[in-house]
Structure 1
Amino acid sequence: MTSSHRPFGLPAAVAAAVLLSAAAGCSSPDAAAPVVVPNPPAEEASFCQALAKELPDTVAGLRRSDPEPGSELTAGWGDGAIVLRCGVPRPEKMSDPKAQGISANGVRWMLEQRAGDGPRLTSVYRKTYVEVTLDERYAHDVGPLTDLANPVERAVPCALEPECS
């Protein structure tokens, strides 16, 4: 895993669209609380559908357990420990020049620490935004991104070259 933390300002041009990881599959009866399913424009939804086909069965050793309601725009692992949403709106925090960034296996993410919980990460420089939320066990570990970066890279095209390379 290649990973680096550093601040970055995201230009207004990057207001393209945020892909929050998506996935298809059956929901587990043990899945965690429901999540809000994004409602992206058709082009972004097509990237999410492609991402759904690329997502792994396990992330960070946790088995797939998609949240309710079932959707190609959402995916989960470990009964809510890791949740992906694809096609989410651009987070306001991306306009903050002090926003923190991280890179995992060639995909760049904006990092937001959440009080009393694990981090929320949103892909940047992609044609749609992908959001990954991690529970408190990942408060200081963004390792699950290593399992998710390659599917995002394959399914969601870069919106701003050379930022994705």
Structure 2
Amino acid sequence: MNSFRHRLIGLPALALLITTAGCSSADDSASVAVPSPDATVTELCRKLDGALPGKVAGLSREDPEPRSTLTAGWGNPEIILRCGVPRPPKMIDPKVAEGHDPDAVPGGVNGVDWLQEKADDGFRFTTANRKAYVEVAVPGDVDSSAALIELAPAIKSAIPKGIAD
């Protein structure tokens, strides 16, 4: 009988747990993988986080989950910025190292050099020639040139020129 009573008491608790787990918050923020760079790059990324604009390409800043100074977002679908990402494999390609990269944004954008890669739902841009790699994912329906232009001043002020790694 005692065992039966414990099962009865456990059922409402289990039902509450299942109900709570099934509910989602009203927050529609995207979930983003947070990079894990070394301490030097992390400090540069924190500096960048403080310099980022409140709006990019006309979209308001809405940071993704989990909250981190290494990630930022604007709009929905979001423009996602991740600072301190590893060097993209494409940047290791000898043709890229020799300056013959067909995916480089010619001349950079407002003083920031970028590698451009096609993604499933738009484009992914990664800074080049900076002490930290900054990746910006831009959905296909967002003006990527406006996003890069508006992010350039913050990147230039926070991430010095040089070679990461």
TM-score interval for Structure 1 and Structure 2 normalised by the shorter chain: 0.7 to 0.9
Give me the whole-angstrom Cα distance separating, in 2, the residues matched to 1:152 and 1:70: 20
Give me the whole-angstrom Cα distance separating, in 2, the residues matched to 1:72 and 1:62: 19
Change (3 A) 1:52 1:141: closer
* TM, length-normalised to structure 1: 0.74
Q: Equivalent pairs: percent with the same residue?
A: 45
Change (3 A) 1:134 1:40: same
Instruction: Report the alpha carbon displacement of residue 100 of structure 1 after superposing the two structures with TM.
Output: 1.2
Q: Is the 8 A contact 1:119 1:134 kept in 2?
A: yes
Give me the whole-angstrom Cα distance separating, in 2, the residues matched to 1:74 and 1:141: 18
Q: Is the 8 A contact 1:84 1:133 kept in 2?
A: yes
Give me the whole-angstrom Cα distance separating, in 1, the residues matched to 2:76 and 2:90: 27
Q: Secondary structure at the match of 1:100?
A: coil
Task: Name the structure with the higher helix share.
Answer: 2
Q: What does residue 68 of structure 1 align with?
A: 65
Q: What does residue 154 of structure 2 align with?
A: 151
Aligned-residue RMSD, C-alpha: 1.6
Instruction: Report the alpha carbon displacement of residue 37 of structure 1 after superposing the two structures with TM.
Output: 0.1
Aligned length: 130
1:21-63 superposed Cα distances (whole Å, 9 cap, x missing partner): xxxxxxx9232x2000000000000000000000000001000
Q: Secondary structure at the match of 2:122?
A: coil
The 5 A counterparts of 1:114-125 are 114-115=119-120, 117-125=121-129
**Equivalent of residue 130 in structure 1, options 108, 130, 134:** 134
Q: Is the 8 A contact 1:65 1:80 kept in 2?
A: no
The answer for unaligned runs of 5 or more in structure 2 is 1-25, 96-100
The answer for unaligned runs of 5 or more in structure 1 is 1-27, 161-165
Give me the whole-angstrom Cα distance separating, in 1, the residues matched to 2:86 and 2:80: 16
Structure with higher Rg: it is 2
Give the ranges of 4+ consecutive aligned residues of structure 1 lying more than 3 Å apart after TM superposition: none
Change (3 A) 1:30 1:57: same
Give me the whole-angstrom Cα distance separating, in 1, the residues matched to 2:144 and 2:56: 13
* TM, length-normalised to structure 2: 0.74
Q: Is the 8 A contact 2:56 2:146 kept in 1?
A: no
